Structure 1
Amino acid sequence: MKLKFPIVLRKELKETLRDRRALSLLLLFVLMYPLLVGGVLQRQIDRATRPEREGVELAVIGSEQAPTLMNQLRQRNVTITELEPMGEEEINALLRRQNVVAVLRLTPDFVDNYHAMRPARVELWFDSASDSSRKLDEIEYVLQDYSRNIAGARLLAHGVSPANLNPVLVQRYDTGTSASRSANTISTLLGIFFIPAFMFCMSTAVDSTAGERERRSLEVLMAQPVRPSDLIIGKWLAASLLSIVGITLELAIAHGILKWLPLEEIGLSWRLRWSDLAMVCLASATLSLFAAALEIALAINARSFKEAQTLVSFTMIVPLVPVILVPMLNLTNKWWMYMVPVLSNQTLLRELAKGQSIGLLPFLQTFFSSLLLAMLCVWYTERRMKSEKYMMTV
């Protein structure tokens, strides 16, 4: 018997391409996630390079008591604004206006305590809720360096080597590459690239099943000399093709953005090659097949388009669980991760982004794990359409 699912496939694709709303949503999700990740990383890059470009604004009360400290701050590109003595409320108001990063207040007894070799107290006022943590680190580094210099000079004055302050010298060697740090840092962000696989096919999956059932056009299709398997496969492949195209375009755009961003400014890099990306897209094709099959299996049981949308919306939660939970638990790479849809794609992309050679097995696990689940969903949907109970409720 001649296979008739290509006819159903063409029919569903024509109807989908005529739906401008579905195509607009497809384009929106294709662009949204890569631009979102690019925007987040660009903001981190801007925050990392802002102190060098703009300098650090610091208000100082009692600056005349520590001229050496003021010179060290200026050498670190810190712009000092000298202020008259202020109370706590005035300092809080100044910080709320965000004109300065922090307020450094030297107590009136600073000079006396300094000459008496007692701890000379300085007060650093700042707003931890503001977006200036890196600039504040610059100020605190200068204060710590200033304190160490004073301690060393006092020890030398008493004939003691400042080296006694550090009896153990720790020399650190970081063997991690910028690519591995990059993949670990943006691990969660990589996962959201694959979640839209369930969104790209949702409209077609729901409309071609519950939508046709509500419009009573499914009865006409089932009355034709065509097997239920041809109907299901045609609708499944139509929804899957949209998802495959969407995921491929999304990953390509995201790869281009990550290649273009100056990630080295924040100690990261993106070493994924276009050939590696092609392999990831091929392995992720079955994720789209699984997403479409799962949504059709759920939507086929609904009697209306609205009811199907409610059922299918729960599929958005399933891929979010491993994507969010695994990075939070800080789990190392395990073989079973390549057997869980979405998580397997995320892990595959993360390991390749590190510039590592992972072999062929993870690709095969990622490909066939989603394909197996997709075939189970298609088998269930076909059995559902063949049942008399379903036929009576159409």
Structure 2
Amino acid sequence: MNTMLIVFLKEVKENLRDRRTMMSALLFSPLIGPLFLVMIMNVVITRELNKADQPLKVPVIGAEYAPNLISALKQQGFVPQPGIANPEKAVRDMDADVVLRIPKDFGDSWRKGQASQVEMIYDSSQRDTGSSVERLKGMLQLYTREQGAMRLVARGLSPTMMAPVSIDERDQSTPQSRSGQLFAILPYFIVLAIFIGGMYLSIDLTAGERERQSLEPLFANPVPRWQVLLGKLGAICVFSSTSLLICLLGFNVFGRLIPAEKLGMTMNFGPSFVLQVLVMMIPLVILFASLQTLVAAFAKSYREAQTYLSMLMLIPAVPSVMLSVLPVKVADWMYAVPLLGQQVGITQLLHGDSISGSQLATVIAVGLLVAFLVTLVTAQVYRSERLAISA
């Protein structure tokens, strides 16, 4: 056990002096997620809120054919702009979010009591046009309902005849569950903090030492190889755990800067969230440390190991993409799948749902079992004499 402690303290001290490892493990990897998410969300939310508060400026073609319609829309915050010669090209070139075109026969159809048609010209593939299109559509629908009701009253009929079915919407979402949908990518940043937090250290302690030819004198000592391995894994786990903790604290601090409450959402990155995520992630810390060391053991140089682990970094993205894109219904069996179970658990916490004791125990038990098996494989590789040979 003294060998494990000596190797552990040696590797921790040496890498604390390595500026590259410190920057990647304790600054870049844990804080890139919170900072990136906060900046993006602030820009998106602020932009949408500003557009919602401002008058809706829309080019109108043929405004003179429907003065009453234009007047009614102005009361809802509509500001008509001069018409455009080629509205289709304007929306494709993003010169306008949406263009309203009123045909010449609008007035004739109106006076005859027929349906008067207007055209909304927009490009739904443009990301920034959605709110403007929905606002204009809502204005037109409101005007349509009001005028339809007035026509029925003029004929001595009840306006309720227009709506034979009344829809009572009961949204079961909560402010926190809506925020969970907005932050579906957050679990990936947490997993990424663990992965990058220990990646450079695991490369340096195996492929790096192999390239520097310092593994051979280390293995020449009369000590069990597994003790040397556990000492190195312990150092990697310390850096990964520290990176994870900094990442969670970053979300706790920077998350308060996101104006989610203006969208009717609430976020909870408090102590309870941090503690539960830390407990769930312990198996992943050990698993990633063993897996990264195993992969690095097959590389003969630092750069080669970095290439292998960079490709391995794509694996944690699979569950996050699946959970954020596909309508996945959470099931108990998911907690028994390493990596997927952790990300499902974090997603549940973001939605404001609780994780049962059995689900948490499943995540930890299965994760530790898989981490133990990978560690056994890594220990077997460490027993090979070829590991110390760089050429």
TM (normalized to structure 1)? 0.90
Alignment of 1:325 with 2:294, yes or no, is no
Task: Show the 5 A alignment for 1:238-277.
Answer: 238-277=235-274
Aligned match of 1:340: 337
Contact 1:57 1:100 in 2 (8 A): no
Work out the CA distance in 2 between the residues paired with 1:283 and 1:393: 37
Distance of aligned partners of 1:100 and 1:72 in 2 relative to their CA distance in 1, 3 Å threshold: farther
Aligned match of 1:24: 23
Distance of aligned partners of 1:264 and 1:239 in 2 relative to their CA distance in 1, 3 Å threshold: same
Contact 2:334 2:341 in 1 (8 A): yes
Aligned match of 2:116: 120
Task: Measure how far apart 1:228 and its partner are.
Answer: 0.5
1:238 corresponds to which letter in structure 2?
A
**CA-atom RMSD in angstroms:** 2.3
Distance of aligned partners of 1:167 and 1:384 in 2 relative to their CA distance in 1, 3 Å threshold: same
Contact 1:105 1:124 in 2 (8 A): yes
Task: Measure how far apart 1:94 and its partner are.
Answer: 4.6
Task: Show the 5 A alignment for 1:212-251.
Answer: 212-251=209-248
Q: Percent identity?
A: 30
Spell out, residue by residue over 1:61-94, the C-alpha distance to the aligned partner (whole angstroms, 9 max, x if none). Answer: 33233233222222222222244xx53x3x3455
Task: Measure how far apart 1:236 and its partner are.
Answer: 0.7
Distance of aligned partners of 1:190 and 1:259 in 2 relative to their CA distance in 1, 3 Å threshold: farther
Spell out, residue by residue over 1:298-341, the C-alpha distance to the aligned partner (whole angstroms, 9 max, x if none). Answer: 21122222332233233212222222224433222222222223
Task: Measure how far apart 1:393 and its partner are.
Answer: 7.6
Spell out, residue by residue over 1:353-392, the C-alpha distance to the aligned partner (whole angstroms, 9 max, x if none). Answer: 3333323233322223322222222222222222456567
Gaps of 5+ in 2: none
Aligned match of 2:202: 205
Work out the CA distance in 2 between the residues paired with 1:269 and 1:107: 46
TM (normalized to structure 2)? 0.91
Work out the CA distance in 1 between the residues paired with 2:269 and 2:386: 51
Alignment of 1:183 with 2:146, yes or no, is no
Gaps of 5+ in 1: none
2:380 corresponds to which letter in structure 1?
R
Work out the CA distance in 1 between the residues paired with 2:150 and 2:222: 96
Work out the CA distance in 1 between the residues paired with 2:330 and 2:92: 45
Task: Measure how far apart 1:275 and its partner are.
Answer: 2.6
Pick aligned residue for 1:356 from 353, 357, 361: 353
Task: Identify the range of structure 1 (233-242 vs 326-335) with the bigger mean alpha-carbon deviation.
Answer: 326-335
Work out the CA distance in 1 between the residues paired with 2:127 and 2:291: 45
Distance of aligned partners of 1:384 and 1:298 in 2 relative to their CA distance in 1, 3 Å threshold: same
Alignment of 1:106 with 2:105, yes or no, is no
Distance of aligned partners of 1:43 and 1:340 in 2 relative to their CA distance in 1, 3 Å threshold: farther
2:191 is paired with a residue whose SS is coil
Spell out, residue by residue over 1:159-200, the C-alpha distance to the aligned partner (whole angstroms, 9 max, x if none). Answer: 222211211112111222121222234223333321231111
Contact 2:334 2:340 in 1 (8 A): yes
Contact 2:184 2:323 in 1 (8 A): no
Work out the CA distance in 2 between the residues paired with 1:97 and 1:195: 38
Q: Runs of at least 4 residues of structure 1 off by over 6 A? A: 391-394
Task: Measure how far apart 1:96 and its partner are.
Answer: 6.0
Contact 2:297 2:387 in 1 (8 A): no
Task: Measure how far apart 1:106 and its partner are.
Answer: 1.6
2:2 corresponds to which letter in structure 1?
L
Aligned match of 2:12: 13
